[in-house]
Structure 1
Amino acid sequence: MADLSFARRRAERILRSVSATRWLARLALQRGDTLKARLGDAADDVRLFAVMLYDWATGRYRQVPWSTLVSLAAALVYFLIPLDAIPDPIIALGLLDDAGVLARAGTQCRGDIEQYRQWRSGQEEG
């Protein structure tokens, strides 16, 4: 069974590689879209975290502290691990712990996420 410290260590390794970070973002987007109905509001967090990491990895948005990158990437890694605290195949409960980890990361990184949203909004308008 995986835990959050495992996900954090894995996230730190992934973030050291642009291609691995882009891979993580794409994989999280795909799984988030697949599970959108079961994830509810957490699906929006998955999408936002993944796009933010992708924009960082591609150099489009670099104003993100390392601690925020690690927190968001760790939440996505945890989300992608099928055998975490409550295994995902367990109907109704399997994604509950994933949603909690995603929500916690969103709360911890709220200020940086809001700055990213503002930047992204400006990019879409421009």
Structure 2
Amino acid sequence: MPVNPFRLEARRRAGRILRSATATRWLVQAVFNRSDRLKGRLGETFSDLILLASLLRDWVTGRYKNVPWGSLLTIAAALVYFLMPLDAIPDLVVALGLMDDVAVISRALTLTRSDLERYQQWRNEQER
């Protein structure tokens, strides 16, 4: 399977972003904003994006720290990829533009499933 250079670039950027609380907060807010604008086109992926961005927000604010670095990097890279207008299928291609974004997000969910389940359980406990 050929390597997607856009995914590699997203991962590289994610590593830099995670080292800065300000940049991480910006990433989270940008994902919230873009996903809200595309809510109708994203379908079920909308709630997945919100979960990923919420975990990252709670991590960067110090509210939730139980996340391995590899999972943080995977999540941040998926969110960076979602924000990249020019990727494997440019977002300007109306019918197909979000398909690769959805695939990358889906893969991130699979790779970080156990961490996301622990986070969701923590969130549920916080709401009680």
Provide TM-score, normalisation by structure 2.
Answer: 0.95
Superposed, 1:62-101 pairs within 5 Å as: 62-101=65-104
How many residues were matched structurally? 125
Structure 2 unaligned regions, length at least 5: none
Q: Is the 8 A contact 1:28 1:76 kept in 2?
A: yes
Tell me the percent identity: 56
Matching residue of 2:121: 118
Determine helix, strand or coil for the equivalent of 1:30: helix
Q: What secondary structure sits across from 1:3 in the alignment?
A: helix
Alignment of 1:1-126 (within 5 A): 3-125=6-128
Is residue 8–residue 71 contact of structure 1 (8 Å, CA) maintained in 2? yes
State the AA in 1 paired with 2:125.
Answer: G
Q: Partners in 1 of 2:91 and 2:70 — Cα distance?
A: 27
Residue 19 of structure 1 and its aligned partner are, at CA, apart by 1.0
- 1:100 and 1:3 map into 2 onto residues whose CA distance is 13
Output the TM-score relative to the length of structure 1: 0.97
Partner Cα distance (2:99, 2:118) in 1: 28
TM-superposition CA deviations, 1:54-99 (whole Å, max 9, x none): 0000000000000000000000000000000000011110000000
